Amino acid sequence: MNITKSKLRAKQSITVLTGAGISAESGVPTFRGSDGLWKNFRPEQLATLEAFQANPHLVWEWYDWRRKLIKPIKPNPAHYALVELEAQTEQFTLITQNIDGLHDKAGSQNVLEIHGNIWKVQCTKCQYLSHNSEVPIQILPTCEQCGGLLRPKVVWFGEVLPEKELETAKFAATHCDLMFIIGTSGLVQPAASLGVAGKQAGAYVVEINIEQTPLSNIADETHIGKASDVLTNLLS
């Protein structure tokens, strides 16, 4: 039995941080580089408030394209392993940088989507927040409450993360016994700092990734491999 398995057996409080790597196993594109190129536009050109204000139709066309790609994708064994882990743990928080909603689809309960969710929309006029899974979505979509223009409820370049979710994530990272960091590059702030904060607060940090990352230097254990394989092994 390795150290991680012994700590899992102890049913201590657990916080998990997931990134694009866990969704990549399901086939979700990264939407960076060649994956993100759409009609000669790059994500950095479209995922901004300025782009939305200048041409909301264009930005919504891009998000509609992304939603069409993500809609048929299913959670993979790593997502379901985290659902199982949550069911076995008294204090469990799942923090994700992903906006695809796959953790919700798998059945995870206590999920903090710090970068938002592509299946949620928010009114730019009255701020009403709602779910919308329409594919294709009406362009331009309008608020059912006041008729205002809707925007994707995601964090765009140049925007700050939602304060409530970020503070809750920081608390979870610094008040857990065991912390998993799964499929994240360790480069995107402020999410990358959560692992460091957890380590400094005394958590036992376990990294799972297909390659070494900057977070490998602070992790107590680093498991190189697919999240589905590593988590299935740890929970067996």
- The per-residue pLDDT for range 89-138, each reduced to its tens digit, is 989 999 999 999 999 999 999 999 999 999 999 999 999 999 999 999 99
Concatenating the DSSP letter of every residue in 168-191 gives HHHHHHHS-SEEEEES--S-STTH
Cβ atoms of 139 and 64 closer than 8 Å: yes
Q: Which range, of 33-37, 43-47, 101-105, averages the lowest pLDDT?
A: 33-37
Whether 115 is catalytic is: yes
Q: Whole-number mean pLDDT of the chain?
A: 92
- Rounded to two decimals, the pTM is 0.92
Q: What is the CA radius of gyration of the chain?
A: 18
Question: What is the mean pLDDT of the segment spanning 77-96?
Answer: 95
Say if residues 195 and 219 touch (Cβ distance below 8 Å).
Answer: yes
Domains and CATH numbers, the chain: 3-27+74-115+161-235 (3.40.50.1220), 29-72+117-154 (3.30.1600.10)
pLDDT confidence of residue 2: 61
Catalytic residue among 57, 79, 103, 115: 115
Token pair of 70, please?
Answer: 């993500």
Q: Which amino acid makes up residue 104?
A: D
pLDDT digits (tens, 9 = 90+) for 123-180: 999 999 999 999 999 999 999 999 999 999 999 999 999 899 999 999 999 999 999 9
Omega before 136 within 30 of 0, i.e. cis: yes
Q: What is the DSSP letter of 29?
A: -
**Looking at the predicted structure, is the pLDDT value of residue 223 above 80?**
yes
Q: Is the pLDDT higher at 55 or at 235?
A: 55
